[in-house]
Chain A
Amino acid sequence: MVEQLTTPEFSYDEFEEPCSMERRLNIENFLQLFIHPIICFAGFIGNTLVIVTYALYKRTKSMTDVYLLNVAIADILFVVALPLIIYSEQYGWSMGNLSCKLLRGIYSVNLYSGMLLLACISGDRYLAIVQARRSFRLRSSTLLYSHLVCAAVWILALLLSLPTFIFYERYQPGPTAFIGNSTEGIDDREYVCFFSFKSNHTARTMKTVVPSSQVAMGFFLPLLIMGFCYSSVIVTLLRAKNFQRHKAVRVVLTVVFVFVVCHMPYNIALLYYTISMFEEQDCSHEEAVSLTMTFTRSLAYLHSCLNPLLYAFIGVNFRNHFRKILRDIWCLGKNYMSARRSSRATTEMYLSTRRSMDGSTNDNGTSFTM
């Protein structure tokens, strides 16, 4: 026994040990504590401004408004869920199993609905510009349609997120059996919130299906729709004799460019990871892949705070409404101390002038006017 203990162990195969990837965890920790809070804060402010503007000053009248409001709601739920997930990850999901399922589920629902709604916006712009003659007649009834489309998107997003709600569990990860005297640290292992399956078969299926559907429905489908709609829009715009067409083309190209730059890297990394998931890997290779996923995921998160700028604030109508809000808040603050009554009258006056102005403006293609 003693003799065997002193025999030197093999040292020539390096990848025989479990791969711990501590470097990736450190970098992920850094991103979660320093970068993601900034993204969440900016996203929260931007999307709150969009929602407040719609709630107080601009009743949703066109299809575009309905979609923009829904994108803002999806984004705000996303940037609220994200810090809670980060907090829970840092503290071992101490809020329990339900919080694990709910937070991960909400995260997934808003990821899907956000992406699909951006595709809806491109479809709306396609109808407004390419099919302008046909949609002009339809436009009065489209508000109802857009509500129905949004409801369908949210239901689809919920259905696509069902596996997350069902299979995410809070548990202590680690080996399923333990034999020998090396039981150190088995009970103080940190809880995680991750996939947990009853059988190997469902595990294999769902571990492939969930990321595949995320890449397909949460990226390539919206990309395909946007590609078709926006290229038709650009072709129509370039044929038109409007002096503002170049600005509109620039807006469209920016929207598509930012979408691709934010989401393409993560989805390609995720696709690659999913394809090579069940094969043997080098630890260093796996570490590189997960590092890429960690960085590209942060890039994808960034999109939720760019959406208000790209879709809402780029529109001249929306900016006017937002300016009115600022003016009213300024007036309210200025008059609050002196006379409460008169300040309210001023606000009401602003509101009434706004409404009378709105009656004459045409909301077609709101987001294109710079």
Chain B
Amino acid sequence: MVIKICILALVTLLLFQVETDAVACCLSYTKHPRRCANLKGYDIQGTTGGCDLAAIIFHTEKGRLICADPAQAWTQKRVECLKYEKVTFQSLT
């Protein structure tokens, strides 16, 4: 009887547990620069929280995420491009 209650409790715990979003971190950088036209936005991954590597996460038009090295020149160029061209374009639509 006690065992049955325990199993029931565990099953309910499992069923009602909140779906936790996996905290995804960039662990390495892409070696292939992307064109600005293929990107639609970016996030900044800092090191002050759970992640240990500084990175720029580009969002591609196809919905993929790409980790880029913030120290690379092309990364900074794409960030500028997205800031001044893409974003204003998107906010208008």
Separation in Å of the A83 CB from the closest CB of chain B? 11
Task: Give the residues in chain B near A5, CB-CB below 8 Å.
Answer: 61-62
* A20 adjacent to B40 (CB under 8 Å): no
* A180 adjacent to B41 (CB under 8 Å): yes
* A281 adjacent to B28 (CB under 8 Å): yes
Which of A9-17, A153-161, A259-267, A345-353 participates in binding chain B?
Answer: A9-17
* A15 adjacent to B27 (CB under 8 Å): yes
Separation in Å of the B25 CB from the closest CB of chain A? 6
Task: Give the residues in chain B near A179, CB-CB below 8 Å.
Answer: 41-43, 82-83, 87
Within 8 A of B (CB), among A251-280: 277-278, 280
* A173 adjacent to B48 (CB under 8 Å): no
Per-position contact with B for A151-190: 1 when CB-CB < 8 Å, else 0?
Answer: 0000000000000000000010111111111100100011
From known contacts A17-B65, A18-B65, A173-B23, infer whether A180 and B82 are also in contact, taking CB-CB under 8 Å: yes
Question: When chains A and B are docked, how far (Å) is the Cα of A89 from the Cα of B21?
Answer: 12
Q: Is A91 an interface residue (CB 8 A)?
A: yes
Task: Give the residues in chain A near B34, CB-CB below 8 Å.
Answer: 10
Question: When chains A and B are docked, how far (Å) is the Cα of A90 from the Cα of B12?
Answer: 13
* A18 adjacent to B24 (CB under 8 Å): yes
Question: When chains A and B are docked, how far (Å) is the Cα of A326 from the Cα of B66?
Answer: 64
* A282 adjacent to B23 (CB under 8 Å): no
* A16 adjacent to B66 (CB under 8 Å): yes
* A280 adjacent to B29 (CB under 8 Å): yes
Q: Is A57 an interface residue (CB 8 A)?
A: no
Task: Give the residues in chain B near A90, CB-CB below 8 Å.
Answer: 13, 17-18, 20
Task: Give the residues in chain A near B72, CB-CB below 8 Å.
Answer: none
Within 8 A of A (CB), among B1-53: 10, 13-14, 17-18, 20-32, 34-35, 37-38, 40-50, 52-53
* A17 adjacent to B66 (CB under 8 Å): yes
From known contacts A180-B42, A194-B49, infer whether A20 and B22 are also in contact, taking CB-CB under 8 Å: yes
Size of chain A's interface in residues, with CB distance under 8 A?
56
Question: When chains A and B are docked, how far (Å) is the Cα of A255 from the Cα of B63?
Answer: 55
* B52 adjacent to A196 (CB under 8 Å): no
Main secondary structure of the interface of A (DSSP, over half): loop
* A195 adjacent to B49 (CB under 8 Å): yes
* A196 adjacent to B37 (CB under 8 Å): no
Task: Give the residues in chain B near A29, CB-CB below 8 Å.
Answer: 17
Contact of B48 among A91, A190, A203 (CB under 8 A): A203
From known contacts A192-B23, A194-B50, infer whether A282 and B28 are also in contact, taking CB-CB under 8 Å: yes
Q: Is A209 an interface residue (CB 8 A)?
A: no
Task: Give the residues in chain A near B17, CB-CB below 8 Å.
Answer: 29, 33, 90
Q: Is A73 an interface residue (CB 8 A)?
A: no
Task: Give the residues in chain A near B65, CB-CB below 8 Å.
Answer: 17-18
Per-position contact with B for A85-127: 1 when CB-CB < 8 Å, else 0?
Answer: 0000111100000000000000000000000000000000000
Q: Is A220 an interface residue (CB 8 A)?
A: no
Per-position contact with A for B60-88: 1 when CB-CB < 8 Å, else 0?
Answer: 11111111000000000000001100110
* B42 adjacent to A9 (CB under 8 Å): no
Task: Give the residues in chain A near B62, CB-CB below 8 Å.
Answer: 5, 9
Q: Is A147 an interface residue (CB 8 A)?
A: no
Within 8 A of B (CB), among A24-71: 25, 29, 33-34
* B10 adjacent to A34 (CB under 8 Å): yes
From known contacts A1-B37, A175-B57, infer whether A18 and B13 are also in contact, taking CB-CB under 8 Å: no
* B52 adjacent to A175 (CB under 8 Å): no
* A33 adjacent to B13 (CB under 8 Å): yes
Task: Give the residues in chain A near B23, CB-CB below 8 Å.
Answer: 173-174, 192
* B20 adjacent to A175 (CB under 8 Å): no
Contact of B24 among A19, A180, A181, A282 (CB under 8 A): A19
Separation in Å of the A131 CB from the closest CB of chain B? 47
Chain B residue at minimal CB-CB distance from A198? B48
Task: Give the residues in chain A near B28, CB-CB below 8 Å.
Answer: 15-16, 280-283
Task: Give the residues in chain A near B42, CB-CB below 8 Å.
Answer: 177, 179-180
A-B contact pairs, 13 of them (CB 8 A): A4-B35, A9-B64, A10-B30, A13-B31, A20-B22, A92-B20, A179-B43, A179-B87, A185-B21, A194-B49, A200-B46, A204-B47, A283-B28
